[in-house]
Chain A
Amino acid sequence: MTSTALSPQPPASWRRYFGFSTDAKVIGIQYIVVSFFFFLVAGLLAMIIRGELLTPAADLVDRTVYNGLYTMHGTIMLFLFIFPVLNGLNNLLIPTMIGAPDMAFPRLNTAAFWMVPVFGLLLIASFFVPSGPASAGWWSYPPVSLQNPLGHLISGEFLWVLAVALSGISSILGAVNFVTTILRMRAPGMGFFRMPVFCWTALAAQSLQLIGLPALTGGAVMLLMDLTLGTSFYRPEGGGDPVLYQHFFWFYSHPAVYVIILPVFGIFSELFPVYSRKPLFGYVYVALASFIIVGLGLIVWVHHMFPSGVAQWMRNLFMVTTMLIAVPTGVKVFAWLGTMWRGKIRLTTPMLFCIGGLFNFVFAGITGVMLATVPVDIHVSNTYFVVGHFHYVIYGAAVMGIFAAIYHWFPKFTGRMPYEGLGKLHFVLTFLGANLNFLPMHPLGLMGMPRRVSSYDPEFAFWNVLASLGAFLLGVSIIPFLLNMISSWVRGPRATHNPWNAIGLEWLLPSPPPEDNFGEHVPTVISPPYGYGKNEPLVEHQAEIERALTLAEATR
């Protein structure tokens, strides 16, 4: 009777990827593909930035153009690459991991996705307005962001605020959907403490979106009014307070880093057990630590403003809360190391990306605690030390975790195996490139090189040349990735339902899964996740389900 749900479906038309599909798996792939388009755009901007910084003189681009380049690089990477790619993974993984047929609100899901290309094009269009793109940095601090010398209403900054507001609406719609789905649509028997850690971290991250994002939206509305209607919320000459904007901005944008890194913790927690053949060490603590990070993450934002003229008690308080964050994250790092300890480690591409990502994350964590310390922070604030720390978190840890997830779940959602050779080449280039690019930024920052400058003192030249070479290596590293994705999707070897021998509901579905996943036959979960080496079934009738899947694969 399960044969109807488990037999491979006739291949659906590729055209569904170009329309308003409501299937979470189609939307997930749409999110990921679109986000990688913007990744290439913002990556190209990074190449130009690093090209400019090869020499101390400002010789490649004009200074004002340079301001636009780093502003758009940061904005596009965050709002059009990282968030959408993670929402793509959420769409693919949450319903299949909890055994739901789709998201709770499929049409809302479609609407949230299609806003992404719209505000993406808005941002790119800002390169072509008379005043040029926004150039106040990705944080858009007033009073710099309120300068509008040409006086046009439709300025780059105007389009920037509009795009950020749209991105916020899209993310809120997505967050409502993900949280409702996780809370209400889990398979029978899957209590919260039988839920995969990825779902825990997604729930934590999306809760942060719901709490934090409206503050940024509120702040952005006031910025837009200052910019277009002549109000003075942030204009000191009219009684306003520019630091107020910084509070609104960082109240969301610091937790935003946890929105990014929490799902990556989820990916690590899923993948280390699979490739070490051991249960996740300290599952309950790893799951709960996500919510401790949410709670603490909401009360650390002032550490971005230590030099901005905040009261001394605020500096002390937020220094302590920021350092406390290291505790729950440390719990997680220990849990992953404990998982690998004496495991049967398989160094596949996803596992390599996880280990590399974990290495970079620990490094970023150490510089993070340094930055939390008020005296250190005041010294290195607004220098390349901050840039280096941030890129270790985002590229070194988060993007590498995302690559791990893509290689790991690629066979599930495309039905094809990615090539290991190209994958390992991609890993080596990424790991070397990221470290060569971002490590030199730390000595640069300690020496005092400020961020966001197109020319610098010749004494900084050595480390800058190294960083630029690393950046170009990162640029090259994306070529084997794209080759791998395209060619293995077109003609890669067929994937079985469980090529990595992993445990989880999604691996009890055919590859690729049918549109409604398990349909009417959602299995009942009878044991905790990550039962590696325990030889107990995850769900009722597991043997029959797997036999039917294998049979269907043999006859296709």
Chain B
Amino acid sequence: MTTTPIPPATPNAAHGDGHHASHNLTGFIIFLCSESVIFLAFFSGYAILRRAALNWLPPGVEGLEWRMPLLNTIVLVSSSFMMVAAEHYKEKGKLWLFRGFWLLTMAMGAYFLYGQAVEWGGLKFGLTSGTFGATFYLLTGFHGLHVATGVLLMGLMLVKSFIPGNYNGGEEGVKATSLFWHFVDVIWIILFVLLYVWRT
């Protein structure tokens, strides 16, 4: 308690070896904010096209089946809580519990992707089935790409956890991945409401 903390306002001291971590997290958060605008563009495009459509559903299509996607939603949302648990154990230094929960999160993400693929496989409309089909595949596809990226990032962080001493603090990749995962999760909730809950 006698050590007077050096004010963090001397960023020039922080450019040395491996202290870029805090910059990395700042940069990643800025990037995520920017990324959310693409989704905002797609969401608003979807809403505008849907509200303007005379016949939103293409001929022969009754609407979207919502039970399987709802199960998917529950899996994805709970995976975020598994991730919080994983981070909690990392903070406590219990690396094996961290790895366990982290792997569980990954598995739930992979299950979500599997569910998405099964849903796509059973649909009677395609990308060219009017704006209904095009927006559906664009939104779910672009989101699915983010889920896949999240699972890959998690795999990378899992591998990195085996480097001795790597997670003794200062490693911010886990924090960034978890931010990304929560982001993907929130996007899905909005997407689910727009695609499956919204009735005209």
Cα–Cα, bound, A173→B133 (Å): 32
The reply on A244 being an interface residue by CB < 8 A is yes
**Contacts of B30 on A, CB cut-off 8 Å?**
175-176, 179-180, 210
With both beta carbons as reference points, the residue of chain A lying nearest to B42 in the complex is identified as A218
Chain B: CB-nearest residue to A103: B23
A222 within 8 A of B: yes
Number of A-B contacts (CB under 8 A): 126
Say if the beta carbon of B193 comes within 8 Å of chain A.
no
Q: Per-position contact with B for A98-136: 1 when CB-CB < 8 Å, else 0?
A: 011110110010000000000000000000000000000
Task: Let me know if A553 is at the binding interface, CB within 8 A.
Answer: no
Min CB distance B155 to A, Å, is 22
**Beta-carbon contact of B34 and A239 below 8 Å:** no
A189 to B55, CA, bound (A): 62
Please state if B128 and A215 are interface contacts (CB–CB under 8 Å). Answer: no
Stretch at the interface among A16-24, A46-54, A223-231: A223-231
Kindly identify which residue among B9, B11, B31, B49 contacts A239, using a CB–CB cutoff of 8 Å: B49
Shortest CB-to-CB span from A513 to chain B, Å, is: 15
The complex places the Cα of A512 from the Cα of B38 at a distance, in Å, of 41
Interface 1/0 per residue, B33-46 and A, CB below 8 Å: 11111101110010
Does B123 count as interface, using CB distance less than 8 angstroms? no
Chain A nearest CB: distance from B32 CB in Å? 10
Q: Is B78 an interface residue (CB 8 A)?
A: no
Name the one of B15, B20, B52, B138 contacting A241, with C-beta atoms under 8 angstroms: B52
Contact B11 A225, beta carbon cutoff 8 Å? no
A188 to B8, CA, bound (A): 9
- Indicate whether B189 reaches chain A with its CB closer than 8 angstroms: no
Alpha-carbon distance A179/B134, docked complex (angstroms): 35
Contact mask A172-186 → B, CB, 8 Å, 1/0?
100111011001111
Contact B41 A219 (CB under 8 A): yes
Known: A225-B134, A238-B130. Contact between A105 and B23, CB under 8 A?
yes
Which residues of B (133-153) have their CB < 8 Å from a CB of A? 133-135, 138
B26 touches A183 (CB 8 A): yes
Contacts of B42 in A (CB 8 A): 218
Choose among B9, B54, B133, B138 the residue that contacts A188 (Cβ–Cβ < 8 A).
Answer: B9
Q: In chain A, residues 510-536, which have Cβ atoms closer than 8 Å to a Cβ of chain B? A: 518, 520, 522
Query: Roughly how many angstroms separate A251 CA and B127 CA in the complex, as a whole number?
Result: 26
B168 at the interface (CB under 8 A from A): no
The interface bits of chain A over 233-245 (1 if a CB of B lies within 8 angstroms of the residue's CB, else 0) are: 1000011110010
**A99 and chain B: residue at smallest CB distance:** B12
Specify which chain A residues have a CB less than 8 angstroms from the CB of B37 in the assembled complex.
210-215, 218
Which residues of chain B from 28 to 70 have a CB within 8 Å of any chain A CB?
A: 30-31, 33-38, 40-42, 45, 48-49, 52-55
Residues of A near B130 (CB, < 8 A) are 232, 238-239
Q: Which residues of B contact A99 (CB under 8 A)?
A: 12
When the two chains form their complex, are residues A241 and B41 in contact, meaning their CB atoms are under 8 A apart? no
Given A214-B34, A214-B38, are A233 and B131 also a contact pair (CB < 8 Å)? yes
User: How far does the alpha carbon of A99 sit from the alpha carbon of B9 in the complex, in Å?
Assistant: 13
A177–B45 Cα distance when bound, in Å, is 29
CB neighbours (8 Å) of B24 from chain A are 105
Task: Tell me if A185 and B12 are in contact (CB < 8 A).
Answer: yes
Q: Is B10's beta carbon under 8 Å from chain A?
A: yes
- Residue of A184, A210, A241 touching B48 (CB-CB under 8 A): A241
A244 with B48: in contact, given A104-B27, A176-B30 (CB under 8 Å)? yes
When distances are taken between beta carbons in the complex, the residues of chain B under 8 Å from A105 are 20, 23-24, 27
* Smallest CB separation, A403 vs chain B (Å): 31
Decide if A289 is an interface residue (CB 8 Å cutoff). Answer: no
Contact B9 A175 (CB under 8 A): no
Task: Assess the B15–A232 pair: CB atoms within 8 A.
Answer: no
- Measured in the bound complex, the distance between the Cα atoms of B38 and A219 in whole Å is 9
> Which residue in chain A gives the minimum CB-CB distance to B31?
A176
Q: With the chains together, A187 CA to B53 CA distance in Å? A: 56
Identify the closest chain A residue to B137 (Cβ): A231
Which of A101, A210, A239 has the largest count of B CB atoms less than 10 A from its CB?
A239
B60 to chain A, nearest CB (A): 15
Closest chain-A Cβ to B23's Cβ sits at a distance in Å of 4
Q: B7: nearest residue on chain A (CB-CB)?
A: A188
Asked if A90 is at the interface of the complex by the 8 Å CB criterion, the answer is no
A209 to B, closest residue via Cβ = B34
Report the Cα distance A185→B42, complex, angstroms.
Answer: 35
Known: A214-B34, A239-B131. A180 touches B41 (CB 8 A): no
Across-interface contacts of A211 in B (CB, < 8 A) = 33-34, 37
Residues of A within 8 A of B15 (CB): 100-102, 185
Distance of A230 Cα from B133 Cα, bound (Å): 11
Residues of chain A lying within 8 A (CB to CB) of residue B40: 214-215
List residues of chain A with CB within 8 A of the CB of B38.
Answer: 214-215, 217-218
B41 in contact with A248 (CB, 8 Å): yes
- In the bound complex, residues from chain B placing their C-beta under 8 Å from that of A219 are 41, 45
A309 to chain B, nearest CB (A): 12
Give the nearest-CB partner of B16 in chain A.
Answer: A520
| Chain A residues within 8 Å of B10, by CB | 188, 522
Which residue of chain B has the shortest Cβ distance to A210 in the bound complex? B34
Is B31 within 8 A of A222, CB to CB? no
Q: Tell me how far the C-beta of B26 lies from the nearest C-beta in chain A, rounded to whole angstroms.
A: 5
Q: How far is the CB of B101 from chain A (nearest CB, A)?
A: 30
Contact of A172 among B31, B45, B132 (CB under 8 A): B31
Chain B stretch 72-90: residues in CB contact (< 8 A) with chain A? none
Nearest-neighbour CB distance to chain A for B114, whole angstroms, equals 24
Q: Mark A403-417, 1 if CB is under 8 A from B, else 0.
A: 000000000000000
Name 24 A/B residue pairs within 8 A (Cβ), A-sorted: A101-B15, A102-B15, A175-B30, A180-B26, A180-B27, A188-B9, A188-B10, A212-B37, A214-B36, A215-B40, A217-B38, A219-B41, A221-B138, A230-B127, A231-B127, A231-B128, A231-B134, A233-B49, A238-B128, A238-B131, A239-B53, A241-B48, A241-B52, A244-B48
Residues of A with Cβ closer than 8 Å to B?
A: 99-102, 104-105, 108, 172, 175-177, 179-180, 183-189, 210-215, 217-219, 221-222, 225, 229-233, 238-241, 244, 247-248, 251, 518, 520, 522
Which chain B residues have a beta carbon within 8 Å of chain A's beta carbons?
Answer: 9-12, 15, 20, 22-24, 26-27, 30-31, 33-38, 40-42, 45, 48-49, 52-55, 127-128, 130-135, 138
- The 3 A-B residue pairs with the shortest CB-CB distance in the complex, in nearest-first order: A218-B41, A214-B37, A231-B134
